[in-house]
Amino acid sequence: MGKVKRTFSSAVRMPYQDSIAFVTRIIEFHNEQALKDFGNHQFHSRQATVLKLWLIDLKEFIIKHEEKESLSIQDTEEETGREEVLSSLNKDAG
């Protein structure tokens, strides 16, 4: 399976994208095996669940850090008065 083209990214998310895709494929593998390999159904289901929990934890971690990054950017814009400068430029141009 080739790499999936991603249409979004952030500085926080980028380092984790490949591992998320890889673990997602492993989860799919274990789910398929749970349906095919009846003798080991419980093992494959458990592995898929453990990996899914890991993935959920990672995504929550990423979202939390993206929110912090977003707030940090907003604080920086407020500190530098960026919005005021842009609005004054718009008034001068209009």
Q: Work out the average pLDDT over 60-72.
A: 83
Long-range contacts of 41-44 (CB under 8 A, 24+ apart): none
In this predicted model, what pLDDT tens digit does every residue of 34-64 receive, in sequence order?
999 999 999 999 999 999 999 999 999 999 9
Is residue 42 within 8 Å of residue 21, measured between CB atoms? no
**Strand ranges in the chain using DSSP code E only, listed in sequence order:** none
Strand, helix or coil at 22?
helix
DSSP letter string over 21-43? HHHHHHHHHHHHHHHH-GGGHHH
Q: How far apart are CA 28 and CA 40, in angstroms?
A: 15
In this predicted model, what pLDDT tens digit does every residue of 76-94 receive, in sequence order?
555 556 666 666 666 766 5
State the pTM of this model. 0.65
Tokens, residue 51: 């990996």
